[in-house]
Structure 1
Amino acid sequence: MQSRFPYSPERCPVSPRRNRPKVAGTTGRSAEDDQAGRYGGWQSTETWQGEQWSVRHVAGASAEGKTYRCPGCDQLIPSGVPHVVAWPEHSGVDDRRHWHKSCWNAKDRRTTRVQRPRNAPRF
């Protein structure tokens, strides 16, 4: 029994799936999105103590193999733990600080118990 609509390679009623963007060279994401995606989080700007701060939420997977010291609680942030990286917008990457998310959210309500001297080693 023959089908009413035989298959013809010249004329296929279903078009193939398109795997590429319609416009070559555009991905639909900005460079800022790509940078934030690279670190597994998103970036924003906040005002704190009269300064603009760049705040990046980092996924734990992108911090694998590294430990940081949180300035909010003076405890270590172990490898693989999601956290926040914040730095004053006008300064460079040398002023980045890694915070626990809860410590960053409570930064106005508490200070560190142990005050290290300015020239103490940073982790």
Structure 2
Amino acid sequence: MARNNRSRKREAEYEPLDVERLTTGWRRTEVRSGRQWTVQPISALNATKTYTCPGCSGEIAPGVSHLVAWRNDGILGDQADLEARRHWHEACWKVS
């Protein structure tokens, strides 16, 4: 009988590529001025609308990668925080 030289361990560690996660970015939590913010990168492929950046009041055109940020420690609850989310240029968010 022929011997199989393939490592079974390598096969068990394989995880299929999560395309949705790659295209939506990596959601993270940041603390700024004592407040917690959820920050979600938006890829150029998923940027389909025009937004106004609160950092510079400039336009974020469709097809431009950017960030969406919202507080996650507001007193009005999670739904109100999510509805108050804003789209930022990446550079504007870094200096805010």
Query: Could you tell me the TM-score, scaled by structure 2's length?
Result: 0.70
Aligned to 1:94: 83
The answer to whether residue 44 in structure 2 is matched with residue 55 in structure 1 is no
On the 8 A contact 1:42/1:58 being kept in 2, the answer is no
Question: 1:45, CA displacement in angstroms?
Answer: 0.9
Higher helix share: 2
Pick one of 22, 26, 40 that aligns with 1:37: 22
Aligned to 1:114: none
Aligned residues: 88
Greater C-alpha radius of gyration: 1
AA partner of residue 52 (structure 1)? Q
On the 8 A contact 1:60/1:80 being kept in 2, the answer is yes
The answer to whether residue 67 in structure 2 is matched with residue 84 in structure 1 is yes
On the 8 A contact 1:60/1:81 being kept in 2, the answer is yes
Q: What percent of counterpart residues are identical?
A: 36
Higher strand share: 2
Query: Could you tell me the TM-score, scaled by structure 1's length?
Result: 0.56
Aligned to 1:72: 55
| Structure-2 separation of matches of 1:54 and 1:34 | 21
Question: 1:12, CA displacement in angstroms?
Answer: 6.4
The answer to whether residue 94 in structure 2 is matched with residue 105 in structure 1 is yes
The alignment's C-alpha RMSD in Å is 3.2
On the 8 A contact 2:23/2:43 being kept in 1, the answer is no
Higher relative contact order (CA 8 A, sep 6+): 2
Question: 1:95, CA displacement in angstroms?
Answer: 1.5
| Structure-2 separation of matches of 1:28 and 1:45 | 26
Q: Structure 2 unaligned runs (5+)?
A: none
